[in-house]
Chains A and B, each alone.
Chain A
Amino acid sequence: MGRFIKMALAGLVASVLMGGAAMAAADGKSAAVMNKGDHPLPEVWSGYKWAKPETQATQDDEFENPANLWTEQGKALWSKVDGSAKKSCQECHNDAKSSMKGVATRYPVYYGPWKKLINLEQRINLCRTKFMKAKAFKWKSDDLLGITIYVSKQSNGMPSAIEVNAQTKPFWEKGKAHYYKRRGQLDMACSHCHEKYFGGQLRSNVLTQGHANGFPTYRLKWQRPGSIQRRFKGCNKQVRAKPYKMGSDEYINLEHYVRWRGNGLPNETPAVRN
């Protein structure tokens, strides 16, 4: 009974956050979120649901998750002084466990000075260049992956809560258009694989709904973690489409839209996937 009330409350909070969509039981990473209104999916599921049991176990095992090396590197970076301002993340933000809690559930957000959206990696690099006077980390670097995993991990279990408001709506619209646009020689859209045929078997792979709640994700194929931006490139290339650059406006808008589609899903960084 108490549990039920708690769940109902959580649902209420989430539905406020998500602007009307109602949320059902969040039973960990395989949570289904019942959507109402304008959301294209009747139920939202983490890719965890379709991962092989061995893969799920690798993700869940605190000591065996292969992304741990990166998580540790990120943790060390948090308090490492860098750049000519001689500052560390910690000097401005104190303990990441409290200050970074929930951050990953909100990004990408609108960034006034650039008049567009920025994602978590870009926010981190802005802190480095602006406040630490340090060099920005490269997209595929162990440093950027590590610090992003470490920051994102502080939101684990919290529901994704991307806000679509007057400022972000135009970018959300662009991300949405991208999602439904056929591209490449094979002429497929994201929606073909992740909306129409999720749960279906494409060769030996089971298609998921293509959510971002576990990124940066450790991919067994890559043998290292990768950002959601890198995943987009891979999905474009699969259909023989020319990918965009990581961090391009196109992909940041797409990330905002994709994360919105996953609103309500608990954060689960670093996820492990094929």
Chain B
Amino acid sequence: MRLSRIAFLFCSIVGLTGLLIQPAMAAEHAKKMTPAALVSYKITDGPAIKAINKSLTGKAGDMVAGEKTMVNKKKGNCLACHVVTKLKARAAKKPKKYADMGLIGPPLDGAAGRYTEGELRMMLVNAKAAFPDTIMPGFYRADKLTRVMGKFKGKTVINAQDVENILAFLVTLK
């Protein structure tokens, strides 16, 4: 009885890591990121929501790198809120990154069928442009924010190439 309770306490503590993006670890990442000015982009109307049709970097995205950024808890941490069914099998080998996918947002399965590439780019850059009340963070914006923690001030969660890389992965979700 006692032992099982102790085991339970321990598991709960271990199980808690990586809830959202973790500030302590995230700080390291933020320091390494260059505070260069943000790439400018143009917002247009897509068929369903607002869109950014041109690549932010002019370079093609790398979907393998994109998946890494998506599951990185210090970066995209997309699985905190979204299910991606085709990634579920990876939980067997890498439970920390792939297990316990969140159910806050809709599953990303089929997202590329619902939205154009430009609309998906908009979602990543600043989801609020499409859904004003959304809980989903804007991953490539640093303006009009309130009381940002010192080490993240003026910085975006991910960089422009990260956006393109994640996008390369998202467009495979047909």
Contact = CB atoms under 8 A, between A and B. Distances in A.
Label chain A's interface by main secondary structure: loop
Nearest to B79: A203
A99 interface: no
B102 A220 contact: no
B21 A203 contact: no
Nearest to B148: A185
Interface string B93-127: 00000011011100000000000000000000000
A220 B13 CA distance: 6
Nearest to B1: A64
Contacts of B100: 201, 203-204
A152 to B, nearest CB: 23
Interface string B66-105: 0000000000000111000000000000000001101110
Nearest to A237: B23
Contact of B138 (A66, A187, A238): A187
Contacts, number: 107
Given A182-B146, A184-B147, A238 B9 contact: no
Contacts of B157: 185-186
A204 B152 contact: no
A185 B152 contact: yes
Given A184-B145, A203-B18, A242-B149, A220 B23 contact: no
Nearest to A188: B135
A200 B148 contact: no
Interface of B: 5, 8-9, 12-13, 15-16, 18-21, 23, 26, 79-81, 99-100, 102-104, 128, 133, 135, 137-138, 142, 145-150, 152, 155, 157
Interface of A: 52, 54-55, 58, 64, 66, 181-188, 192-193, 196-197, 200-205, 207, 220-221, 223, 236-242, 274
Q: When A and B form their complex, which 9 residue pairs have the shortest distance between CB atoms, in order from nearest? A: A204-B100, A192-B135, A186-B137, A201-B103, A185-B152, A183-B146, A220-B12, A242-B147, A203-B80
